[in-house]
């Protein structure tokens, strides 16, 4: 069905996509039924503003119509728009096609008179694509704007035959809260590499207890593609894993904006040349990045006094090069412009950057990504980024304060970093749920500190792995965990702080440190 393995190993994702387009005509037959060219490549139909990524899909037949009263929405997840004070998108899924989907929104659960039509994005995966059965997924999105800052809203999602405003369906309502108009203390959480399973579910249950304003997912979201090479030859792909994932995360994501970056397991090569056609169907992220077509997971937003930037490290990864160079350098140019803009803003104290591949990590699996060090680390240092959050390696690891690839200052547990005059701190928070990796050095975490002078590791360079011995690995914890960050603004001239904590699946604290910066 896909590109032959011997060819796929030598082809980029875009080249594989073109191979499939040339090989399969619109007359291709699957299971005795006609399938369009787009469907053979695993096409996603995405109407509206994101239609540039669209390819045709299987047409629904009249026999697929189901009484809407028998269909319940699931998998609700929120995302900020470009301005979290006034914009948010509510997304959800239905198991079969429905008519006239909509969202109801109001300031009270008994006042949901505002009714807004939802956009439908249909994703069809034919049998034979990986391990998937013949499967159509229906994702719905409602963009809300002109909201009031710092306000909690109630919402319900529905369709013809299923109206959440009816008394017997009020239990299906959700809430969201917009960002405040001015800086206030808040908390956000982060992790990467979740997938579907007990540990992901356990971490999600703890996230709610942190009362986060938003959650950052640093890539490798559902693992529908367990191989993660970004190739059509990847074995085991199953689009139905996303149904499980969105149901698993709904308990948090229905009320906490869930902001993802894309990792290597999110390059699903059967959908569009960049592999992000499926992601375009499932997510509706801020559209303020440099290239909505090729880099849909690149965006930024400001919440209170903190700017957050999501990057796509697949674009610069030497280790997994399926999308290497896809932006032609525009992502790095955009990143510098964003950093320069935020550093010039009197309303922004902190800049947090998150993405998948690690700048600095000593895991025995992936370790560090040389492309990140080459392209982005110099910019992080030039513009004194306050915190960098990564996934990719399934463990918790935190560095000392780093500049010019060396330790500027040791940052013990409980210590404070001052990025304006020192350097950058990097945290790998990739233990959200998937199977854990390993370290070469002994673990060292809060209450169980085991300091070592150096750690043997490697970096993925353009010409392959290069061994290195590093001194910057400060905290190493090998069990399921996530990151909690408490942001405390300050009056002008005083120290604003980020208090960063590593929280284990058990609820125990395994690390904490502070990033301090003089408020603008």
| pLDDT tens sequence for the chain (520 residues) | 455 555 555 555 555 555 554 443 332 322 222 222 222 233 332 333 333 333 334 444 434 578 999 999 999 999 999 999 999 999 999 999 999 999 999 999 988 989 999 999 999 999 989 888 899 999 999 999 999 999 999 999 999 999 999 988 988 999 999 999 999 999 999 999 999 999 999 999 999 999 999 999 999 999 999 999 999 999 999 999 999 999 999 999 999 999 999 999 999 999 988 999 999 999 999 999 999 989 999 999 999 999 999 999 999 999 999 999 999 999 999 999 999 999 999 999 999 999 999 999 999 999 999 999 999 999 999 999 999 999 999 999 999 999 999 999 999 999 999 999 999 999 999 999 999 999 999 999 999 999 999 999 999 999 999 999 999 999 999 999 999 999 999 999 999 999 999 999 999 999 999 999 999 8
Cα separation of 375 and 366, whole Å?
A: 18
- At 117 the three-state DSSP class reads strand
With contact defined as beta carbons under 8 Å apart, do 137 and 122 qualify? yes
With contact defined as beta carbons under 8 Å apart, do 242 and 222 qualify? yes
Cα separation of 440 and 458, whole Å?
A: 11
Give me the helix-helix angle, 241-253 and 198-209, nearest 10°: 20
With contact defined as beta carbons under 8 Å apart, do 391 and 428 qualify? yes
Note the pTM of the prediction, 2 decimals: 0.90
- At 208 the three-state DSSP class reads helix
Residue with tokens 């077509």: 293
**Helices and strands: H and E segment counts in the chain:** 9, 30
- For the record, the structure tokens of 388 come out as 């960098």
Residue with tokens 């030039």: 382
- At 480 the three-state DSSP class reads coil
């Amino acid at each position: 069905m896909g590109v032959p393995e011997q060819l796929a190993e030598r082809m980029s994702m875009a080249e594989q996509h073109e191979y499939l387009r040339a090989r399969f005509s619109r007359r291709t037959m699957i299971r005795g039924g006609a399938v369009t060219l787009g469907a053979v490549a695993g096409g996603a139909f995405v109407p509206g503003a994101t239609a540039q990524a669209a390819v045709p899909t299987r047409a629904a037949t009249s026999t697929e119509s189901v009484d809407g009263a028998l269909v319940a929405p699931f998998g609700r997840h929120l995302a900020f728009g470009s301005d979290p004070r006034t914009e948010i998108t509510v997304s959800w899924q239905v198991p079969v096609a429905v008519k006239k989907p909509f969202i109801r929104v109001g300031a009270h659960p008994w006042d949901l008179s505002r009714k807004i039509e939802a956009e439908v994005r249909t994703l069809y995966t034919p049998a034979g694509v990986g391990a998937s059965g013949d499967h159509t997924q229906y994702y719905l999105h409602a963009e809300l704007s002109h909201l009031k800052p710092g306000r909690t809203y109630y919402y319900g999602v529905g369709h013809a035959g299923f109206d959440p405003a009816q008394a017997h369906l009020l239990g299906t309502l959700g809430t969201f809260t917009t960002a405040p108009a001015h800086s206030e203390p808040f908390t956000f959480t982060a992790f990467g590499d979740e997938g579907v399973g007990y540990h992901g579910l356990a971490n999600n249950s703890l996230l709610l207890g942190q009362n986060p304003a938003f959650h950052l997912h640093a890539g490798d979201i559902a693992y529908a593609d367990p191989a993660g090479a970004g190739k059509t030859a990847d074995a085991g792909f199953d689009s139905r894993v996303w149904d499980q994932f969105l149901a698993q995360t709904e308990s948090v994501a229905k009320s906490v904006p869930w902001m993802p970056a894309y990792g290597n397991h999110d390059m699903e090569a059967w959908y569009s040349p960049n592999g992000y056609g499926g992601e375009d169907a499932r997510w509706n992220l801020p559209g303020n990045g440099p290239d909505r077509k090729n880099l849909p997971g690149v965006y930024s937003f400001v919440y209170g006094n903190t700017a957050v930037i999501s990057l796509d490290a697949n674009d610069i990864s030497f280790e997994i090069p399926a999308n290497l160079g896809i932006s032609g350098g525009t992502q790095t140019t955009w990143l510098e412009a964003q950093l320069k803009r935020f550093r010039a803003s009197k309303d922004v104290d902190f800049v947090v950057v998150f993405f998948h591949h690690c700048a600095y990590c000593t895991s025995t699996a992936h370790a560090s990504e040389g492309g990140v060090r080459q392209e982005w680390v110099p910019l992080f240092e030039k513009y004194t980024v306050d915190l960098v959050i990564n996934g990719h390696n399934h463990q918790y690891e935190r560095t000392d304060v780093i500049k010019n690839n060396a330790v500027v200052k040791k940052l013990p547990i409980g210590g404070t970093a001052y990025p304006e005059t020192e350097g950058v701190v990097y945290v790998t928070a990739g233990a959200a749920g998937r199977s854990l990796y390993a370290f070469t050095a002994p673990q060292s975490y809060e209450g169980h500190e085991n300091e070592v002078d150096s750690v043997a590791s490697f970096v993925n360079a353009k010409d392959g792995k290069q061994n290195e011995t590093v001194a910057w690995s400060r905290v190493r914890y090998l069990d399921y965990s996530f990151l909690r960050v408490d942001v405390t603004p300050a009056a002008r001239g005083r120290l604003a702080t980020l208090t960063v904590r590593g929280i284990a699946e058990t609820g125990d604290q395994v690390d904490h440190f502070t990033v301090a910066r003089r408020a603008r």
